[in-house]
Structure 1
Amino acid sequence: MKQIILVRHGKSSWEYDVSDKDRPLKQRGINDAHLVSKAFAQKAIHLDHCFSSSANRALHTSMIFTRNLGFNLDNFLISEKLYDFSGNSVREFVKDLDDNLETIMLFGHNYAFTTLANTWGDQYIDNVPTSGLVHIKFDVRQWAKIAKGSSETVIFPKHLKTK
């Protein structure tokens, strides 16, 4: 069985005159990433590997998650292929993964992650928000064969905030 946890980067700031890749997280993005990662940590799901887009906002989000999950950074990799907005590059990245990996976490971007959550999962999601997490299980043994799986967990910041 293969499992993917898709995490969209936290809310980023447009306050600085920097390239898209260099945009930092806003304080809300930092807070939401902590909130969602701590909620996901309660699920106690073992991760084999984590992969992040090279964009600053995705990397910062991934560091918050890995810290809160107590994840060993020896099993962490940054990939340019995850700096993708359509989903095509992410899909190819996943299909090329080592089949010895069972459960992975990806940190990346929209519209790629909403598209993939709907392509791979069985629960329609209008939009994966910033810091949103979607966990999908597949009843296959090879990454190249993933198609439709089951959406196991969906955690969005708004689910965790009290009004």
Structure 2
Amino acid sequence: MKRLTLVRHGKSSWKHDLPDDERPLKKRAYRDGDIVSRTYKEFYTPDALFWSSPAVRALETAKMFKEQLGVPDENFKIKESLYTFDQEDLLKIIKSCDDSIKKLVVFGHNPAMTGLVNRLGDKGLDNLPTTGLCVIDFEVDSWKDIKKGKTLLTLIPKELR
């Protein structure tokens, strides 16, 4: 069995004239990150591998979860290729995960995240909002074989406030 958790980065600021990948998080993103990661902590098991986009807004979101969940450094990786908005690219990256890994948590960007939640899970969403999280289980032994799984958990910050 494989368990995939998709987390969209926190709400980012457009206040400063910065390249897209350097945009920081807004204050709301820290509040949302805290409430979603604390709620997810009740569901999370500590053997997951964390992958994050290198974009500031995704990496800062991932670091909030890392701290809240006590993820060891060796289970936390920044993957340049996760700075993508394309669900096909995102799926290809996820399918490249080593099969010894049973649980993968990915921090990335829309529309790729919402697209994959709908493509891979059995419960559709109009939009995975910023700091939204979705957990999907697959009855397969290889990441290469993930297709349609069972959506176990969806956390939406607005519903937790």
For normalisation by structure 2, the TM-score amounts to 0.98
Distance of 1:26 and 1:128 partners within structure 2 = 18
Kindly tell me the number of residue pairs found equivalent between the two proteins: 161
CA offsets 1:32-67 (integer angstroms, 9 cap, x no match)? 011100000011423421000010000000000010
Matches within 5 A, 1:89-104: 89-104=89-104
- Tell me which amino acid in the other structure corresponds to 2:103: T
Partner of 1:153: 153
> Do the aligned partners of 1:47 and 1:104 also contact (CA within 8 Å) in 2?
no
The letter of the residue matching 1:68 is Q
Please state how far the C-alpha of 1:117 moved relative to its aligned partner.
Answer: 0.2
Corresponding residue of 1:86: 86
Mean Cα deviation higher: 57-66 or 78-87: 78-87
Match of 1:18 in 2: 18
CA contact (8 A) 1:33 1:131 kept: yes
* Separation in structure 1 between the aligned mates of residue 73 and residue 13 of structure 2, nearest angstrom: 26
Q: Distance in 2 between matches of 1:86 and 1:39?
A: 28
Supply the distance in 2 between the matched residues of 1:143 and 1:44 (Cα, whole angstroms).
19
Query: 1:109 maps to which residue?
Result: 109
3-state SS of the aligned residue for 2:66?
Answer: helix
8 Å contact 1:36–1:157 — kept in the other structure? yes
State how far apart, in whole Å, the 1-side matches of 2:79 and 2:88 are.
Answer: 14
Q: Percent identity?
A: 42
Structure 1, unpaired ranges of 5+:
none
Q: Could you say which residue in structure 2 is the equivalent of 1:34?
A: 34
Report the counterpart of residue 118 of structure 1 in structure 2: 118
Structure 2 unaligned segments of length 5 or more: list them: none
Matches of 2:69 and 2:16, distance apart in 1: 30
Aligned residue in 2 for 1:45: 45
Moved over 2 A (4+): 44-48
